[in-house]
């Protein structure tokens, strides 16, 4: 029968699409960034993202079943009750049982979705005891970071210019590019020069220790920005004159990328976020190096004045 053939075809298509979307894809050896031909989310680097991914996958099954059910009902009505197949229509207007079922069933489904959803929201929103606190400020169009517990260590993170990737770049640009890579390498004490990515890499990186609770205090100094790292499962607005908080605890060392996620002006797309997650020893060593390296360069003037007044 034609109807059955159509339904089989449709369910095959929907199910195969779902089957592709459900697994958490391993992104090869590269953590924390989108990869070519990726389907679904980036691999989860925190417990928050792990819960978010499995909640998403569960919901996908629910909405697929509902869609198939509604589609089947539509098909059934179109084929079984068209004018040719059913020339004398029924005059029925009410069916108490049916009406009770189609009210109660959606309520049960919504409550079933709502409970894990609210549980996840609270898990994200409840900030645990923080091991590291960092203040993040959004600007048009870059991010700046302050480590209040590290003698006012503060620096800006500005996107590396796209011309670094031009195939016909001049010797000057190449020299700048090499210097930028060299700075990242020496700040992080990497054995090899890091690979850099156009529109994603910044001149400095936010550095945090692995397996520790990191709390970010977010604000902005001009318009609303949003600080987001997909593989951490965090995305929060940075609002001028307000303080927002988020937390994450990353399980694996590596480089993780994100971008400003609130339309904030013409260069909104050009204020990426790079987080380097390192071991506790590397973190302490970085703090010592960064303290000296960034001290004069970018300590906010208010901190410099306060420090000078205390001397």
272 to 291: interface string for Cu ion, x by CB under 5 A: --------------------
CB of 235 to Cu ion, least distance (A): 12
Asked if 160 is part of the footprint of Cu ion (rule: CB under 5 A), the reply reads no
Task: Please state the length of the chain.
Answer: 311
CB of 159 to Cu ion, least distance (A): 11
Name the residue with tokens 């090499």: 178
How many Å apart are CA 265 and CA 236, to the nearest integer? 17
3-class secondary structure, 36? coil
Name the residue with tokens 């978010």: 52
How many Å apart are CA 113 and CA 59, to the nearest integer? 8
C-beta closer to Cu ion: residue 184 or 260:
260
The number of residues that bind Cu ion (CB under 5 A) is 3
Asked if 159 is part of the footprint of Cu ion (rule: CB under 5 A), the reply reads no
How many Å apart are CA 127 and CA 247, to the nearest integer? 6
The tokens for 218 are 């977010």
Asked if 177 is part of the footprint of Cu ion (rule: CB under 5 A), the reply reads no
- Strand order of the β-sheet with 153-157 is 153-157, 142-147, 132-139, 214-220, 244-248
C-beta closer to Cu ion: residue 24 or 158:
158
C-beta closer to Cu ion: residue 53 or 137:
137
Contact stretch for Cu ion (CB under 5 A) within 90-98, 170-178, 262-270, 298-306: 262-270
Asked if 260 is part of the footprint of Cu ion (rule: CB under 5 A), the reply reads yes
Which of 127, 162, 132, 168 is closest to 147 using CA atoms?
Answer: 132
CB of 261 to Cu ion, least distance (A): 8
Asked if 264 is part of the footprint of Cu ion (rule: CB under 5 A), the reply reads yes
CB of 85 to Cu ion, least distance (A): 58
C-beta closer to Cu ion: residue 177 or 225:
225
CB atoms within 10 A of CB 67: 12
CB of 9 to Cu ion, least distance (A): 45
Contact stretch for Cu ion (CB under 5 A) within 29-37, 147-155, 196-204, 255-263: 255-263
How many Å apart are CA 306 and CA 311, to the nearest integer? 9
CB of 273 to Cu ion, least distance (A): 10
CB atoms within 10 A of CB 27: 17
CB of 262 to Cu ion, least distance (A): 6
C-beta closer to Cu ion: residue 209 or 258:
258
287-309 residues labelled b (16+ CB within 10 A) or e (exposed): beebeebbbeeebeeebeeeeee
Could you say which residues in the range 212-241 bind Cu ion, by CB under 5 A?
225
Footprint of Cu ion on this chain (CB under 5 A)? 225, 260, 264
């Amino acid at each position: 029968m034609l109807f059955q053939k159509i339904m089989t075809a449709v369910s095959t298509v929907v199910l195969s699409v779902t089957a592709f979307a459900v697994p958490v894809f391993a992104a090869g050896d590269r953590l924390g960034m989108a990869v070519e031909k990726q389907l679904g989310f980036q691999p989860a680097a925190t417990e928050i993202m792990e819960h978010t991914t499995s909640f998403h996958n569960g919901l996908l099954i629910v909405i697929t079943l509902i869609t198939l059910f509604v589609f089947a009902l539509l098909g059934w009505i179109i084929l079984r009750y068209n004018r040719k197949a059913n020339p004398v229509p029924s005059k029925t207007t009410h069916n108490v049982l049916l009406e009770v079922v189609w009210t109660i069933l959606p309520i049960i489904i919504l409550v079933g979705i709502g409970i894990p959803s609210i549980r996840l929201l609270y898990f994200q929103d409840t900030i645990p005891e923080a091991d590291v606190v960092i203040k993040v400020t959004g600007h048009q169009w870059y991010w700046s970071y302050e480590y209040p517990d590290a003698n006012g260590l503060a620096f800006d993170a500005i996107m590396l210019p796209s011309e670094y990737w031009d195939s016909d770049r001049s010797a000057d640009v190449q020299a700048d590019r090499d210097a930028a890579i060299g700075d990242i390498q020496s700040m992080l004490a990497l054995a090899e020069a890091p690979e850099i990515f156009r529109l994603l890499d910044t001149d400095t990186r936010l550095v945090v220790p692995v397996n520790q609770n990191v709390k970010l205090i977010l604000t902005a100094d001009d318009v609303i920005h949003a600080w987001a790292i997909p593989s951490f499962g965090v995305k929060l607005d940075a609002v001028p004159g307000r303080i927002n908080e988020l937390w994450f605890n990353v399980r694996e060392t590596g480089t993780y990328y994100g971008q400003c996620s609130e339309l904030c002006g013409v260069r909104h797309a050009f204020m990426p976020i790079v987080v380097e997650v390192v071991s506790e020893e590397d973190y302490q060593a970085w703090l010592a190096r960064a303290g000296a390296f960034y001290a004069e360069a970018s300590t906010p003037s208010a901190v410099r004045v306060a420090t000078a007044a205390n001397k």
